[in-house]
Structure 1
Amino acid sequence: MKNVFFLSFLIIFALLSCRNDEAGVQKIDQIIRLYIDSAGQDMLNSNIQGGYTNIRMNDVYGLTDSAPVNFGTKKDQDTLSYIEYIAGARRIGIDSTGNAKTYESRIALSFTKRLTDSTTATINDTMTVQYNFTPEIFRVSKVWYNKVLQFTKVADEPNIVKIQK
């Protein structure tokens, strides 16, 4: 009798282990590449005269006034500099319909620009990122830069935001 119970248990366990969990996998697409250009000049290249020498990002919806956001400055295959923002800013819910939800993050960007050898200027901008969430996908859907819509998601395309100053 113990053997029948043990054998039944093993068969049920084996059947449950063979389930296909593919439907439960959510695709995540939230990496943003932010390029900033002014009159054909790569403003994120600190080695170029007039480029930004210091970049800071702060979470506007953060739990404290000072809530730095992690990012990286990288170069693409054409050696243009860009800010790679992956995640880190707090997301707040702004809409919900059934299984679909919309979230938003707001980030304050601060750039330092060298004017002369002894003078600098600080440029303050804001980036708002809207995300769509469904059980199948979590992705960037829109990006506003200084309250101007600069990016709308196109399926299967990278999230590249190009700002002209």
Structure 2
Amino acid sequence: MKKLFLVLTLISITLFSCGSDDDSLQKIDQLLNLYIQDSAGNNLLIPNKIGSYSGVSFNDELAVKDIAPVNFSRKEIIADSVYTIEYLAGATRQFVEDTSDGSKIYKSEIQVSLTKKISDTQNAPVVQDKLEIFYRSSSSVFEVSRVLYNNQLVFTKVPDQPNVATIIK
């Protein structure tokens, strides 16, 4: 009888400890899509197209080492060759400030190197740009809050909307 009581007590404790509290879960929203286009709206990320950026690389400017590549992916999202850069995570995040609502602001700084294809055999000199991603962290959410590209605001978070920034080059 004592063994049965002990077993039932252990099972009850286990079941109560496995319960989940949805209010305690933090929503993570850090996927960022970057479109790079010219002033006419032409996509400049088509890998083999002349006049487009055939080479793209990211380097973490806040990393301990000078050369700290950051992973991203170049994705074709529409059948008519519209490409985007998809960045999820990987760059160092540096604390910036506490806000009045109790959130914390962090930022990542990424050097973006772009190589434009100017002919079948030649590339233009590499262009070095600066991408700054600001994150807001609270007990309920960790999200991209705004994005600067070469010190110009290109994205501000709208609740429940995807994080999409368009850069005009």
TM-score by length of 1: 0.89
Per the TM alignment, residue 113 of structure 1 is displaced from its structure 2 partner at its CA by 1.3
Per the TM alignment, residue 9 of structure 1 is displaced from its structure 2 partner at its CA by 2.8
Per the TM alignment, residue 14 of structure 1 is displaced from its structure 2 partner at its CA by 5.0
Gaps of 5+ in 1: none
In 1: Cα distance, 2:135 partner to 2:30 partner: 8
Give 1:111's aligned residue: 114
Give 1:10's aligned residue: 10
SS at match of 1:54: strand
1:96 lines up with 2:98 in the alignment: yes
Give 1:160's aligned residue: 164
Percentage identity across aligned positions? Answer: 40
Per the TM alignment, residue 118 of structure 1 is displaced from its structure 2 partner at its CA by 3.8
In 2: Cα distance, 1:62 partner to 1:16 partner: 43
Q: Give the direction of change, closer, same or farther, for the CA distance of 1:15–1:148 in structure 2 (3 Å limit).
A: same
Kept in 2, the 8 Å contact 1:114–1:121? The answer is: no
TM-score by length of 2: 0.87
Count matched residues: 165
In 2: Cα distance, 1:100 partner to 1:3 partner: 49
SS at match of 1:57: strand
Kept in 2, the 8 Å contact 1:113–1:121? The answer is: yes
- Residue of 123, 132, 143 corresponding to 1:128: 132
Give 1:83's aligned residue: 85
Q: RMSD of the alignment, in Å? A: 2.1
In 2: Cα distance, 1:85 partner to 1:156 partner: 18
- 1:21-70 Cα offsets, whole Å, 9 max, x none, are 21221110000000000133211112222111111100000110000000
